[in-house]
Amino acid sequence: MAKALKTQFVCQNCGASYAKWQGQCTECQQWNTLVEEMLSQKAGQKTSTNLSKAALGKKMINFSQVERLSEAKQRFFTKIGELDRVLGGGLVTGMTILIGGEPGIGKSTLLTQMVLAILAKNTNSPNIFYVCGEESPNQISLRIERMLKHSKSKNLREKLNQSLQFVTSSDVDEITALMASKKPNLVIVDSIQSITTSDLTGASGSVGQIRECSSRFIDQAKAYGIPVFLVGHITKDGAIAGPKILEHMVDTVLLMEGERSGQLRILRSLKNRFGASDEVGIFQAVDWGLNEVSNPSELFLENQKVAVSGAATICVMEGTRPLLTEVQALVVSSHLAMPRRVGRGIDISRIQVLAAVLQKHARLALSNYDVFVSAAGGFKLSEPAVDLGLDVAIASSLSGKKIPQKTVFIGEIGLLGEIRQVAYFDRRVKEAKRLGFTKIISAKSHRHISQVIKAL
């Protein structure tokens, strides 16, 4: 018998349900918490949990009968090394990936470039669906033409004509029906906020629409073993737009960061069921797309040929990858009653604490000076291992003395001025020596920040 589809509005705070939408939940008194959700029940019949033995047998699968265990171990490489690194080695059969980022940061560019790389480096011709939710096929083709001019593959255009198919529908039921009939090897949905279902009354991008459409894409991906990329918007706070449950539903959550005016793009893995959840991929924006940065440390180190004051080299861990970068400090006399502490890529409270430690334990008179600190390459430094380098850069700028070349600072600084050991120390030292750095200043060489200041 045909199913009668119904919807109800459920409070996301207390779970109370209502037949119609209203601004305030009468149970918990919270505003704007009602979200439309689907109800599926057989018309004229009550739902029953009584199943026959045959039906129950189909619901249970013995471990020895699972054939997809071997398939799950096989990776489907995207042929972009940095993207494969963040994904944990490539795509897994039936994997769903949510990728978010600011408008214009390069999400669609990266996925388009991935399609070209897959087709250029595969002998067979995989079937790829590109769901055009926000852009028209003509707009996407202009981006493809720009990338084709820099491609070395001679028959790439022929492969595109055979393999790449644009889906112009924004109805999730039509798209999933095409996935069931054509069974593509890869699906890109750009973006999930533009996809709707007629079963719900909410507009595209609403919480109910995003959750229901994502659920149907995920079900189809698992049923037919199709990797699916879902492009997502972000809010003004930097979080991926939509319900938080969306990040729980998908297998992998990727976030692309960077300043749109700059060249650096950092692809972070926030969640990954098939790999490390703290990996990063680094790209450089060029006129035709995104270039992989295989050795990012060389990109971030500018002042290594000459010794300068106020610039110190540190080593940060981005996922499992150690990266050497530079921090710069500028200390100038202040004409204000309360001197300023300004940071770019560094939290202001950290600068205030480190400046106070220098003033207390290293006897540096910073109370009458403005302190400006910046991290190179657009990094946001949050781990404690950069404390020692920040303090040395501030002290160097204040005194005007140059920091010796080929020196790396690795260490956390406590409120008492002591230098503490940090995680992944051996891996950081190995990366520094690989790039030609000969002197490592850390908790193993000095115990207190005052000792480091006196030695330098």
Q: Tell me: the pLDDT tens digits for 361-419?
A: 999 999 999 999 998 766 788 899 999 999 999 999 999 999 988 899 999 999 999 99
Q: Is residue 359 part of a domain?
A: yes
26 and 119 share a domain?
A: no
Residue reference for tokens 């029906």: 177
CB atoms within 10 A of CB 337: 5
11 and 25 share a domain?
A: yes
Q: What's the confidence (pLDDT) of residue 202?
A: 79
Q: Judge whether 131 and 187 are in contact, CB under 8 Å.
A: yes
What pairing do the DSSP bridges indicate for beta strands 412-413 and 419-420?
A: antiparallel
**How many structural domains compose the chain?**
3
Q: What percent of the chain has pLDDT over 90?
A: 53
CB atoms within 10 A of CB 234: 17
| pLDDT surpassing 70 at residue 180 | yes
414 and 281 share a domain?
A: no
Q: What's the confidence (pLDDT) of residue 290?
A: 93
For 393-423, give one letter per residue: b (16+ CB within 10 A) or e.
Answer: bbbbbbeeeebebebbbbbbbeeebbbeebe
327 and 435 share a domain?
A: yes
| pLDDT surpassing 90 at residue 319 | no
Q: Is residue 148 part of a domain?
A: yes
| pLDDT surpassing 70 at residue 303 | no
The number of angstroms, rounded, from the C-alpha of 384 to the middle of its chain's C-alpha atoms is 21
Q: Is residue 282 part of a domain?
A: yes
**CB hemisphere CA count around 93 (13 angstroms):** 12
φ, ψ of residue 356 in degrees (nearest 5): -65, -40
What does the mean pLDDT of the chain come to? 86
* Among 264, 266, 318, residue whose Cα is nearest residue 427: 318
For 9-35, give one letter per residue: b (16+ CB within 10 A) or e.
Answer: bbbbeeeeeeeeeeeebeeeeeeebbb
Q: What's the confidence (pLDDT) of residue 333?
A: 94
Per the model's pLDDT, the better-predicted residue between 199 and 329 turns out to be 329
Q: Is residue 51 part of a domain?
A: no
253 and 349 share a domain?
A: no
335 and 283 share a domain?
A: no
Q: For the segment 337-372, what is each residue's pLDDT rounded down to a tens digit? A: 899 999 998 999 999 999 999 999 999 999 999 999
Q: What is the mean pLDDT of residues 19-30?
A: 88
138 and 238 share a domain?
A: yes
113 and 251 share a domain?
A: yes
- Alpha helices by DSSP H, listed for 375-419, are 387-399
pLDDT band at 329 (very low <50, low <70, confident <90, very high): very high
Q: What's the confidence (pLDDT) of residue 56?
A: 58
Strands of the 439-441 sheet, one edge to the other: 341-344, 369-375, 321-333, 311-318, 407-409, 439-441
Cα separation, 157 vs 163, in Å, equals: 10
| pLDDT surpassing 60 at residue 69 | no
> Which of helix, strand or coil describes residue 312?
strand
pLDDT band at 37 (very low <50, low <70, confident <90, very high): confident
What CATH number should be reported for the domain holding residue 228?
Answer: 3.40.50.300
Q: Judge whether 313 and 301 are in contact, CB under 8 Å.
A: yes
Lowest mean pLDDT among 40-49, 121-130, 184-193: 40-49
Q: Is residue 53 part of a domain?
A: no
123 and 189 share a domain?
A: yes
175 and 116 share a domain?
A: yes
| pLDDT surpassing 60 at residue 70 | no
With left for phi above 0 and alpha for psi between -120 and 50, is residue 310 left, alpha or beta?
left
| pLDDT surpassing 70 at residue 64 | no
Q: What percent of the chain has pLDDT over 70?
A: 89
- Alpha helices by DSSP H, listed for 38-94, are 53-59, 68-72, 81-87
By residue count, the chain amounts to 456
Q: Is residue 121 part of a domain?
A: yes
Q: Which of 294, 312, 338 is the last residue of a domain?
A: 294
165 and 283 share a domain?
A: yes
181 and 284 share a domain?
A: yes
Q: What is the mean pLDDT of residues 283-311?
A: 80
What CATH number should be reported for the domain holding residue 432?
Answer: 3.30.230.10
| pLDDT surpassing 60 at residue 321 | yes
> Which of helix, strand or coil describes residue 324?
strand
Structural domain range at position 27: 3-44
Q: For the segment 258-283, what is each residue's pLDDT rounded down to a tens digit? A: 876 678 888 989 999 998 887 888 89
pLDDT band at 243 (very low <50, low <70, confident <90, very high): confident
**If you ran DSSP here, which 8-state letter would residue 263 be given?**
S
pLDDT band at 145 (very low <50, low <70, confident <90, very high): very high
| pLDDT surpassing 50 at residue 42 | no
| pLDDT surpassing 60 at residue 73 | no
Q: Is residue 9 part of a domain?
A: yes
Q: Judge whether 421 and 391 are in contact, CB under 8 Å.
A: no
Cα separation, 196 vs 209, in Å, equals: 6
* Among 52, 47, 117, residue whose Cα is nearest residue 81: 117
Q: What's the confidence (pLDDT) of residue 43?
A: 40
Lowest mean pLDDT among 38-42, 129-133, 149-153, 241-245: 38-42
Q: Is residue 350 part of a domain?
A: yes
Q: What's the confidence (pLDDT) of residue 238?
A: 76
